[in-house]
Amino acid sequence: MKLNLVKLLIVAFIFPVNTMFIHSQESLSKGIKCHMTVTPLNQDVSSASGTTSFDVIADVEWTVISDQTWCTVTPSGTGDGTITAAYQANTGFVPRVATITVTGQVVGDIVVTVTQDEIISISYSGYPWCPSEGVKEVSLSGSSGGTFSALPEGLDIDPITGAISPGSSESGSYTVKYTLEKSEGKRVVEAFADAAIYPGVIPQIYIKWDDVLICSNVGDLFTGYQWFNGTAPITGADAQFYLTSKVPGIYTVEATDRNGCKAMSNELKMGDPISVLIYPNPVKSSFRISFNDVPTGSTCIKIINSSGTEVMNLRTEKSDFEFFEEITTSNLDKGFYVVKIVVSDIYLYMGKILVIK
């Protein structure tokens, strides 16, 4: 009797009543071995509404239930079959999971899941942006960890954070894309946003009549001005023109364009006229005048002696960025002279020359 009891215990240890695998279950019922298998373990689906399915291989009757109202399933079946899971669109910014329990007669339960992606949105506020504005951050709703890109090329965007730098970007309109890989790269979730940057225009200032500063405004692009001497704004100096009264300093203007963008101009140093290259110096027979600058047009070259008397007045043309002119000294006496060049009756350039015989 003891020997038979030992054999019975050994058999019970080797063959328990229920043996459960990852996707299948088996049992003995009335001496008949029953089984049920459900595959796959999980179905990953997008945030949009749709259906997915699980395969059932079984020789028993089975029932199915979902723990989520947004995911409905085939209620029951017998033997081999298919479980159809219909899911609604996910309008939230986090993934969600529906747990589906398949119960087979005798063999027990098998649990599978439907994992649905969240929706993701990105946006930028306040665009179009001026080039002078600081870094613009993205507003992200949904899972982080994706990458950012933009089309067309020319937008300075951080691929990890989505931050945009207007100052180092080209002007224009862009579409920003955020891409998040799911299921180890098998699927991706994407979101899109618009961004735009205004054209950047740098104002140019020139000097007229030795003490009037002028901000160029071709096409009436600029609508506002603020003049500076050094880093200090000049009170009341808010017009296109500014009379310096020959007060020394380094002058600039901050101009506001029609888009509301502000930009700082080039610098002009008062007290020291814009200098030109005069060579050779001292000179015997002739000398050359050379300088590079933007203004073009009718050009007057005046030579003034040490007594302040104008002794030479030449008319020519500045047609390009670079200006070059050679002048003879045959009619000049020995001594120091001031050379003044005026372009388009506005822009003044000065230099000095020593004539020797």
Total tally of structural domains belonging to the chain: 4
Q: Mean of the pLDDT values across residues 142-147?
A: 93
Note whether 62 and 150 are same-domain residues.
no
Q: Is 9 part of any domain?
A: no
| Cα 10 from Cα 230, distance rounded (Å) | 98
Closest C-alpha to 262, from 221, 219, 306: 221
Q: Which of 136, 162, 197 is the last residue of a domain?
A: 197
Mean per-residue pLDDT of the chain: 87
Cβ count near 166 (within 10 Å): 24
Residue 95: Cβ-neighbour burial (10 angstroms; 0-12, 13-18, 19+) = middle
Q: Which of 197, 224, 246 is the last residue of a domain?
A: 197
Q: Give me the residues paired with residue 7 across strands.
A: none
| Cα 89 from Cα 103, distance rounded (Å) | 27
pLDDT of residue 207: 81
Cβ count near 66 (within 10 Å): 19
| Cα 333 from Cα 56, distance rounded (Å) | 113
pLDDT of residue 271: 66
Query: ω into residue 131 within 30 of 0, thus cis?
Result: no
- Please determine, for residue 21, whether its predicted confidence score (pLDDT) is greater than 50: no
Note whether 281 and 345 are same-domain residues.
yes
Tokens 């043309």 belong to: 317
Q: Give me the residues paired with residue 224 across strands.
A: 256
Note whether 218 and 298 are same-domain residues.
no
Cβ count near 279 (within 10 Å): 11
Question: Which residues form the domain of 150?
Answer: 121-197
| Cα 79 from Cα 64, distance rounded (Å) | 13
Note whether 252 and 217 are same-domain residues.
yes
- Please determine, for residue 13, whether its predicted confidence score (pLDDT) is greater than 80: no
Q: Among 21-30, 181-190, 208-217, 322-331, whose mean pLDDT is lowest?
A: 21-30
For position 328, which CATH number holds? Answer: 2.60.40.10
- Please determine, for residue 340, whether its predicted confidence score (pLDDT) is greater than 70: yes
| The residue count for the chain | 357
| Cα 131 from Cα 3, distance rounded (Å) | 93
Q: Is 5 part of any domain?
A: no
**How large a percentage of the chain has pLDDT more than 90?**
69
For position 130, which CATH number holds? Answer: 2.60.40
Tokens 């100096």 belong to: 237
Contact 301, 343 (CB under 8 A): no
| Cα 55 from Cα 47, distance rounded (Å) | 23
Q: Which of 270, 302, 325 is the last residue of a domain?
A: 270
Note whether 26 and 112 are same-domain residues.
yes
Q: Mean of the pLDDT values across residues 193-200?
A: 96
| Cα 227 from Cα 220, distance rounded (Å) | 18
Q: Mean of the pLDDT values across residues 195-209?
A: 89
Tokens 């339960």 belong to: 109
Cβ count near 206 (within 10 Å): 21
**How large a percentage of the chain has pLDDT more than 70?**
89
H or E segment to which residue 322 belongs: strand 322-328
Predicted confidence (pLDDT) per residue in 274-295, tens digit: 668 999 999 999 999 998 877 7
| Cα 342 from Cα 290, distance rounded (Å) | 13
Q: What is the pTM of this model?
A: 0.62
Query: ω into residue 159 within 30 of 0, thus cis?
Result: no
Note whether 260 and 216 are same-domain residues.
yes
| Cα 197 from Cα 166, distance rounded (Å) | 7
Greater pLDDT, 13 or 53: 53
Q: Rounded to 5 degrees, what are φ and ψ at 96? A: -140, 155
Q: What angle do CA 324, 325, 330 make, to 5 degrees?
A: 155
Q: Is 6 part of any domain?
A: no
pLDDT of residue 272: 56
Q: Rounded to 5 degrees, what are φ and ψ at 61? A: -80, 150
Q: Mean of the pLDDT values across residues 106-120?
A: 94
